[in-house]
């Protein structure tokens, strides 16, 4: 497909059910407050109502990506910021191509991706392509590590991503426009308009992006290494997100979210192919509606969503022309209340229905599910600890879904030392492709099950200077996953999924955040390291003890951010250890480390704020592959100009 491309290249037991603990408040980050050369901008105080993610994840590690870092990645995808700024491995097929997430040695379909509390993973494949999610659409990116099926249901074995946008009910008008031009003829435009008062909050974000993506690389997969230019790699993407919040009264809120996006991309050849004539169109419309009612000692939420996902894939060489349409309706009723001064409850029910119109299924297929959940938090009187018990039972057509409880503890151990621990049972039902794909689909598959444990120790020194803050954590995790679904060759000559694997994933996570504030300079240092051993545990199997493919033993990420009156400097570097590409671990891809630099300067002219930004990606020009035979670009550049009118 020839893409269009411009030449320029959260009461007693009388309280009952609720729907989603809405987050109300929290003004937008003033993106220029610390980089314009003026004093910090003081924002109005707005109440924030905690969500399930904030309150009922006791014992789990919960991380929010630094808002300043998000600012400088606005013209990138969600995959890029996670790969660069977190110790999570992103399995990327290339710039603009399929990018999936791997938490703690699990697969992409063992992770949930949520927008406004609704799972974005389509039921047909059970995972999300993070390259399709523009970071500019989201103000908050939060990461929940570990098993959370008791909170969110199927698929939350390794971890989850939670994408949010938060309203601010005070009078304001903002226009924000950002333009960027980069290597390989990359052009992007982002426009944001915010209008709000004490009753309404409206935010509109529009984005468009085009790139030729025709970088050069060295092909070592031929007798004589040769420099080549990537072909059939054009990308075009545009979308719009609309958020409307209405404060009906001081105790009632309504929210409507609309998100439309279309991406068209050609699929370049691998290093083992002479050419590619494949292309793909992804089109999605997502809508979310929420009503929140606050009581003296509780909250009720009602919410609903409709997601429509369309994919059209064509490979002219292999004579493949496939269209996929998946529609999902979701609804939830949730109730949170304070039973007593130190006992809180969150309970509710949710329902979802998915219809998949896919030619390979030989007709439309439907999947319905109903879930009941109960969550309790008790604050202990004799020690400064909290205990959290979550319970969930899902009813899904065709499956006996396991009961999924979790138990978490956290609190102070001594002085500035805190502890956490969590134990959970989790599950994932097979995707619709696993069940219905012809040929090969297996409707007799069992849900995957896991037992997860983790223990953490956190250091938060309080006797340090006011200008110096530190937060250091060390976690040990372990998960045993049974009935892991694996596609294997069948005697009929095609591949079919079977519950044949049992996997144990264990490891260590280390994270530290340091910030030093002086009169004129703010310095932030973030470091993250993950050691993950994820192996097959079949005792009589030839693959026993072998590391799973594409799960690096070591992943390191680090950033240093320096803010002065005159400019902001961000340096990020990530390291990914070797990844085995064959199940017997006989072949691997070498480790690689990639560094990026961002330098920006803010200006203020009356009510207008302007920022000039320059990025250098892969500054050291490393040659590497995240996925075998998929080259990645060397050093590249991007220049951005952003201005905002208040």
| Cα of 55 vs its chain's centroid, Å | 19
| Residue 518: exposure state from Cβ atoms within 10 A (0-12, 13-18, ≥19) | exposed
**Cβ contacts of 10 within 8 Å, gap of 6 or more:** 21, 49, 50, 51, 52, 53, 54, 55, 56, 336, 344, 346
Q: How far are the Cα atoms of 49, 167, 621 from residue 247, in angstroms, in the given order?
A: 14, 10, 51
Of 26-30, 138-142, 378-382, 505-509, where does mean pLDDT reach its minimum? Answer: 26-30
Task: Answer for the pair 630, 94: CB distance below 8 angstroms, yes or no.
Answer: yes
Helix and strand numbers (H, E) in the chain are 5, 33
Return the higher-pLDDT residue of 9 and 619: 619
How is residue 279 written in tokens? 């292309």
pLDDT in tens, 615-636: 999 999 999 999 999 999 999 9
How is residue 571 written in tokens? 């340096």
pLDDT at position 491, please? 81
pLDDT at position 512, please? 93
pLDDT in tens, 338-378: 998 899 999 999 999 999 999 999 889 999 999 999 999 99
How is residue 353 written in tokens? 């229905």
Burial track 262-285 (b if 16+ CB lie within 10 A, e otherwise): ebbbbbbbbeeeeebebbbbbbbe
Q: How far are the Cα atoms of 177, 203, 289 from residue 245, in angstroms, in the given order?
A: 22, 9, 10
Q: Give the number of C-alpha atoms closer than 13 A to the C-alpha of residue 623, restricted to the C-beta side.
A: 7
pLDDT at position 519, please? 82
Checking if the pLDDT of 593 tops 70, the result is: yes
Q: How does the average pLDDT of the chain come out, rounded?
A: 89
Q: How far are the Cα atoms of 13, 41, 124, 430 from residue 396, in angstroms, in the given order?
A: 28, 50, 15, 11
How is residue 635 written in tokens? 């050093």
> Of 275, 300, 280, 302, whose CA–CA distance to 291 is shortest?
302
pLDDT at position 426, please? 97
pLDDT at position 341, please? 85
Helices (H), 6-109: 52-55, 67-72, 78-85
pLDDT at position 223, please? 85
Beta carbons within 10 angstroms of residue 463's beta carbon: 6
When pLDDT is averaged across residues 109-131 and rounded to a whole number, the result is: 94
Q: How far are the Cα atoms of 289, 567, 581 from residue 38, in angstroms, in the given order?
A: 39, 11, 52
How is residue 494 written in tokens? 């095609």
pLDDT in tens, 227-281: 999 999 999 999 999 999 999 998 999 999 999 999 999 999 999 998 999 999 9
Checking if the pLDDT of 21 tops 60, the result is: no
pLDDT at position 605, please? 83
Task: Answer for the pair 9, 212: CB distance below 8 angstroms, yes or no.
Answer: yes
Q: Strand pairing of 417-428 and 448-459?
A: antiparallel
pLDDT at position 604, please? 85
CA angle 332, 334, 336 (to 5 degrees): 165
How is residue 187 written in tokens? 């052009």
Q: Strand pairing of 579-580 and 568-576?
A: unpaired
> Of 603, 614, 613, whose CA–CA distance to 644 is shortest?
603
Length of the chain as a residue count: 646
pLDDT at position 95, please? 84
What is the per-residue DSSP string for 569-594? EEEEEEEE--EE-STTS--EEPPEEE
How is residue 460 written in tokens? 């938060």
Helix (H) or strand (E) holding 151: helix 149-152
The helix/strand/coil state of 294 is: strand
How is residue 613 written in tokens? 């930004």
Q: Strand pairing of 568-576 and 99-102?
A: unpaired
Q: Where are the domains of the chain?
A: 52-645
Checking if the pLDDT of 3 tops 60, the result is: no
pLDDT at position 492, please? 83
| Residue 238: exposure state from Cβ atoms within 10 A (0-12, 13-18, ≥19) | middle
Q: How many angstroms separate the CA atoms of 535 and 171, rounded?
A: 55
Q: How many angstroms separate the CA atoms of 327 and 306, rounded?
A: 7
pLDDT at position 462, please? 62
Q: How many angstroms separate the CA atoms of 44 and 41, rounded?
A: 10
> Of 153, 107, 187, whose CA–CA distance to 481 is shortest?
107
pLDDT at position 87, please? 86
Helix (H) or strand (E) holding 149: helix 149-152
- Can you name the residues that pair with 482 across neighbouring β-strands? 449
Maximum CA extent, the chain? 76
Checking if the pLDDT of 13 tops 80, the result is: no
Task: Answer for the pair 481, 517: CB distance below 8 angstroms, yes or no.
Answer: no
When pLDDT is averaged across residues 71-75 and rounded to a whole number, the result is: 87
Of 37-51, 504-518, 527-541, where does mean pLDDT reach its minimum? Answer: 37-51
Q: How many angstroms separate the CA atoms of 290 and 49, rounded?
A: 14
Task: Answer for the pair 246, 200: CB distance below 8 angstroms, yes or no.
Answer: yes
In 250-364, beta strands by DSSP E: 252-267, 278-295, 298-315, 320-340, 343-358
Superfamily classification of domain 52-645: TonB-dependent receptor, beta-barrel domain (2.40.170.20)
């Amino acid at each position: 497909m020839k893409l269009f491309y411009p030449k320029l290249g959260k009461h007693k037991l009388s309280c009952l059910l609720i729907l989603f603990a809405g987050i109300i408040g929290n003004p937008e980050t003033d993106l220029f407050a610390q980089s314009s050369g003026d004093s910090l901008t003081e924002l109005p105080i707005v109440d924030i109502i905690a969500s399930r993610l904030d309150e009922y994840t006791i014992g789990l590690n919960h991380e929010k990506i630094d808002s300043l870092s998000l600012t400088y990645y606005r013209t990138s995808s969600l995959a890029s910021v996670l790969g660069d700024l977190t110790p999570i491995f992103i399995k990327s097929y290339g710039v603009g191509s399929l990018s999936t997430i791997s938490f703690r040695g699990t697969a992409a379909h063992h992770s949930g991706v949520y927008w406004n509390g609704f799972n974005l993973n389509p039921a047909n494949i059970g995972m999300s392509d993070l390259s399709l999610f523009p970071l500019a659409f989201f103000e908050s990116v939060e990461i929940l590590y570990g098993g959370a099926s008791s909170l969110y249901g199927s698929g939350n074995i390794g971890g989850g991503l939670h994408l949010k946008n938060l309203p601010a009910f005070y009078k304001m008008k903002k226009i924000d426009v950002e333009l960027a031009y980069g290597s390989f003829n990359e052009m992007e435009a982002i426009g944001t308009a915010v209008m709000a008062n004490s009753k309404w909050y409206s935010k509109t974000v529009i984005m468009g992006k085009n790139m030729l993506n025709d970088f050069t690389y060295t092909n070592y997969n031929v007798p004589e290494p040769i420099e080549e230019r990537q072909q059939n790699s054009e990308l075009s993407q545009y979308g719009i997100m609309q958020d409307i919040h209405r404060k009906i009264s001081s105790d009632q809120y309504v929210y409507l979210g609309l998100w439309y996006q279309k991406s068209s991309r050609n699929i370049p050849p691998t290093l083992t192919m002479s050419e590619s004539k494949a292309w793909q169109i992804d089109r999605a419309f997502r809508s979310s509606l929420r009503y929140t009612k606050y009581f003296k000692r509780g909250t009720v939420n009602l919410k609903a969503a409709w997601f429509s996902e369309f994919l059209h894939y064509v490979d002219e060489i292999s004579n493949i022309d496939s269209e996929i349409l998946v529609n999902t309706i979701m609804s939830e009723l949730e109730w949170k209340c304070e039973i007593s001064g130190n006992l809180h409850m969150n309970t509710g029910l949710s329902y979802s229905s998915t219809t998949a119109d896919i030619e390979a299924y030989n007709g439309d297929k439907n999947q319905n599910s109903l879930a009941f959940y109960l969550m309790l938090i008790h604050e202990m009187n004799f020690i400064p600890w909290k205990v959290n018990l979550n319970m969930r039972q899902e009813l899904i057509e065709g499956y006996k879904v396991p009961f999924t409880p979790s138990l978490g503890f956290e609190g102070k151990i001594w002085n500035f030392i805190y502890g956490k621990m969590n134990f959970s049972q989790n599950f994932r039902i097979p995707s619709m492709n696993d069940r219905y794909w012809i040929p090969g689909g297996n409707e007799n598959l069992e849900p995957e099950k896991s037992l997860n444990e983790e223990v953490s120790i956190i250091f938060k020194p309080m006797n340090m200077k006011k200008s110096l803050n530190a937060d250091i954590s060390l976690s040990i995790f372990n998960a045993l996953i049974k009935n892991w679904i694996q596609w294997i060759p069948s005697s009929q000559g095609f591949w079919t999924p079977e519950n044949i694997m049992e996997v144990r994933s264990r490891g260590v996570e280390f994270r530290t955040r340091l910030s030093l504030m002086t009169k004129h300079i703010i310095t932030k240092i973030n470091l993250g390291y993950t050691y993950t051993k994820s192996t097959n545990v079949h005792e009589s199997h030839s693959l026993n003890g072998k590391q799973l493919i594409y799960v690096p033993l070591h992943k390191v990420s680090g950033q240093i951010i320096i803010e002065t009156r005159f400019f902001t400097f961000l340096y990020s570097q990530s390291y990914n250890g070797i990844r085995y590409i064959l199940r017997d671990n006989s072949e691997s891809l070498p480790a690689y480390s990639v560094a990026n630099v961002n330098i920006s300067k803010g200006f203020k002219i009356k009510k207008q704020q302007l920022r000039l930004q320059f990025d250098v990606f892969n500054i050291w020009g490393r040659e590497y592959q995240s996925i075998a035979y998929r080259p990645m670009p060397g050093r590249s550049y991007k220049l951005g100009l952003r201005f905002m009118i208040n």
